[in-house]
Amino acid sequence: MKQTWSKHIRFGHRPRRRSRSKRIALAMLKIIAIGALTWFSGTAHSQIPSSSKQGSSQRSEATGGLSEPSASDSGAKSLPALHVVLAWESLLSGENWERKNYRAKLDACRESGWPIRALSSDEEAKLGTGEVEILIDARRQVAQQITWTLGADGDEGKTTCLIKLDKHTDHSEVEDNTGMYEAIDSDSRTQERQNMESIGWKLMGEAQVKGQSCTRWQNDRQSVCMWSGGMKWGFAESPGDAAGCAVDGAGVYLDAIPLEATPLKGGSGCRIEVKSFSLGKGLLP
């Protein structure tokens, strides 16, 4: 996966008396500087951790409003037909810096005199964003994530200003669901909530997003609402750390689903929203 642009540099105007060759050299330095700063802040993205899938132990979460699960509810064979699409945007200090750095690079390229290929408005809008599709039923459990980042035809010479939108796809599928999707009891839920509160999360209560129940949590950086309607199938309601967007692994969404996440005002993190949520019986098409 290519590095993302993650710093915005504002450049001043150059005196007209400078020669064309000097102007080109200065523009080259600007583009190189943007790339170097991008490397340092490209590590700001982090995954949203999910619950452990090892062994046959029950996970410590619950659904909120659903009845206590029975033994017959447990295991992958009891899974519903679940189809969810999430959209996310990575923010740094409240702004999409991938998009800001694209504009900074474009300005520098225009000063360089090199050949330029700019993004369309639709392509620019996708920078620093991603989409996750979750497909779960008794037959298969799959998640696919698409991430859009800033790219170019090359990183040297005149190719660096031939800008393009890079699309990255990550596919994750459960191969062995033994011990996964086990029903969760209320005692385990209570214990896990206490564990989350002990590490700085505050339980804010129950909410609904797109008609689905979720448990809202908040810490000093973000607010997260985790799907709480899946306790009988073993889905986690404990908060995922959405301080960064999950750009590396779609598998983190296979046993814990954030329906909403928002950095606190002006903060850095991942803004997540639900595009669609379908829950039914039987198998998916």
Per-residue pLDDT reduced to its tens digit, 76-88: 999 999 999 999 9
Q: Is the pLDDT of residue 41 over 70?
A: no
In this predicted structure, the answer to whether residue 31 has a pLDDT above a threshold of 80 is no
**Residue 138: helix, strand or coil by DSSP?**
coil
Q: Which residues contact 265 (CB under 8 A, 6 or more apart)?
A: 94
CA–CA gap between residue 111 and residue 134 (Å, rounded): 44
Q: Where are the beta strands (DSSP E) in the chain?
A: 81-91, 129-136, 141-152, 163-173, 202-209, 212-218, 222-227, 258-263, 269-280
What does the alpha-carbon distance between residue 256 and residue 249 come to, in Å, rounded to a whole number? 13
- Per-residue tokens: 85: 């699409």
What's the Cα-to-Cα distance from 63 to each of 22, 56, 176, 183, 203, rounded to whole Å?
64, 20, 24, 10, 14
Query: Residue 165 corresponds to which tokens in the numbers above?
Result: 């939108």
CA Rg, the chain, in Å? 22
Domain ranges of the chain: 47-93+176-280
Length of the chain: 285
Q: Which tens digit of pLDDT belongs to each residue from 253-273? A: 999 999 999 999 888 889 999
As a whole number of angstroms, the distance between CA 118 and CA 165 comes to 10
Q: Please choose, from the candidates 277, 188, 174, the residue with its C-alpha nearest in 3D space to the C-alpha of residue 237.
A: 188
Structure tokens at 111: 């000063």
Where is mean pLDDT largest: 19-33, 68-82, 163-177? 163-177
Q: What sign for the dihedral angle of Cα 105, 109, 110, 116?
A: negative
Contacts for 12 with CB less than 8 Å, ≥ 6 apart? none
Look at the pTM and tell me if it is higher than 0.85.
Answer: no
List Cα–Cα distances, 104 to 1, 33, 57, 150, 199, in angstroms: 21, 11, 51, 12, 39
Q: Is the alpha carbon torsion for 254, 149, 262, 198 positive or negative?
A: positive
Please give the residue that has the higher pLDDT: either 62 or 147. Answer: 147
